[in-house]
Amino acid sequence: MKIEQGVKEKNGTWEFLKARKALIEPLVLVFGNRYALESKSIYQEIKEVYPDGHIVFGTTSGEILKNKVYDESIVLTAIEFEKSSFKVVRENMHTHHMNVEDLGHSLISNLPKENLKHTFIISEGTNVNGSGLIKGLEANLDTSVSISGGLCGDDARFERTLASYNGNPEEGEVVCIGFYGDTLEITSANFGGWTGFGPQRMITKAKNNILYELDGKPALDLYKLYLGDKAKGLPEAALLYPLNVRMPNSKEVIVRTILNIDEENNAMILAGDVPEGSKVQLMMSTVDDIAEGAAKAGEYAMRDRTTEPELALLVSCVGRKLVMDQRTEEEVEEVIGSIGDKPEIMGFYSYGEMAPFAGQQECKLHNQTMTLTLFSE
């Protein structure tokens, strides 16, 4: 595996971290600030550097490269696989007018199935039900094939997110990268570090990722009551107080971030499903808890590996970044402490993270977690 990385900070030029090599048909991952990726020339700019590259874009709420976290920048990682291969497919939620489950199903249908090991998803982040997307992906996927990835971000604005494959980034895009090869080892894991507080309530009315009622009362009213004066800052303020959701007949707890609010219907639009009958509690965290959670995510991703990772893709939540503030890089440093300093590291801050729970195969949509996907050939 040959890897090269670069960064373009705001109003700057591209800086590559090592002397550039002539990579052959590399997978080029480009994560950046939404305003930077709205440039009409961004695809051509990267294409000139990697004329035979397979270029995937995604907007972020912060960019990760090596042990640093950037804002208002663009980071790039180009990977030439020497023993394995990949294929990239894409769909658009708007142009095809399909529901999100059908979109997920269509993406997987367009991937060759033979020797498929893993799929990595970079998805529209502001208008997608991530749980529904995963359901559609898994419906047509062998259970031995793992899924990880994330929902694109837009800082804490929640205005619009962009993604693309071999074209300028646009709204509504979902990109799926399939990885193939007998020698390829890919592991993924996630961990949060958030603690529940306050009373536990039951979801009495919800549809997919829209939460209407808790204990028979309007969910948005109750949430605003807890937030007090901070409710004026919704939906951004909700990133500091996500929901702990324990679904019926499930041992695991899923964290859900509020992507938007519906004042007219007194409802909250979440990043993923919240089934009726689930138990819900508010959550909060500290800088130290989040850093410790990142270290655990790294430990879980390394637990069953047989080879040292060469590449680590990190997807962390914008809510974690808001809590960490000036200490955000500490969670990246904690990950490095767990996985070692050999892997090249790249990633972004997101509106939702995709990965299985530790020791499981089935993918889940998470919020407020650090998620790692580790690659080696």
Phi, psi of 67 (to 5 degrees): -105, 20
Per-domain residue ranges for the chain? Answer: 2-191+288-376, 195-284
pLDDT score at 240: 86
The three-state secondary structure class of 322 is helix
| Chain centre distance of CA 31 | 11
* Per-residue pLDDT, 359: 66
CB atoms < 10 A from the CB of 287, how many?
17
The arrangement of strands across the sheet holding 163-165 comes to 15-16, 2-8, 74-80, 27-32, 54-59, 163-165
Q: What are phi and psi of 109, to 5 degrees?
A: -60, -25
8-state DSSP, 179: E
Q: For residue 283, report the phi and psi dihedrals to the nearest 5 degrees.
A: -130, 155
pLDDT of residue 265: 94
The pLDDT, as a whole number, for residue 236 is: 82
pTM: 0.90
Q: Which residues partner with 371 through β-bridges?
A: 190, 315
* pLDDT at residue number 38: 97
Spatial separation of the C-alpha atoms in residues 234 and 253, rounded to whole Å:
24
Q: Using CA of residue 89, residue 78, residue 320, residue 152, what is the dihedral sign?
A: negative
Q: How far apart are CA 148 and CA 339, in angstroms?
A: 18
- Measured in whole angstroms, the distance separating CA 69 from the mean position of its chain's CA atoms is 15
Residues 6 or more apart in contact with residue 90 via CB below 8 angstroms: 107, 164, 165, 173, 174, 175, 176
Distances from the Cα of 63 to the Cα of 7, 16, 249, 338, angstroms? 10, 15, 37, 20
Structure token pair of residue 52:
């035979």
**pLDDT in tens for each of the 377 residues of the chain?**
999 999 999 999 999 998 888 899 999 999 999 999 999 999 999 999 999 999 999 999 999 999 999 999 999 999 999 999 999 999 999 886 779 999 999 999 999 999 999 999 999 998 888 999 999 999 989 989 999 999 999 998 989 999 999 999 999 999 999 999 999 999 999 999 998 888 999 999 999 999 999 999 999 999 999 888 988 888 888 888 899 999 888 877 888 888 888 999 999 999 888 999 999 999 988 999 999 999 999 999 999 899 999 999 999 999 999 999 999 999 999 999 999 999 999 999 999 999 988 667 789 899 899 999 999 99
Residue 235 structure tokens? 């939906």
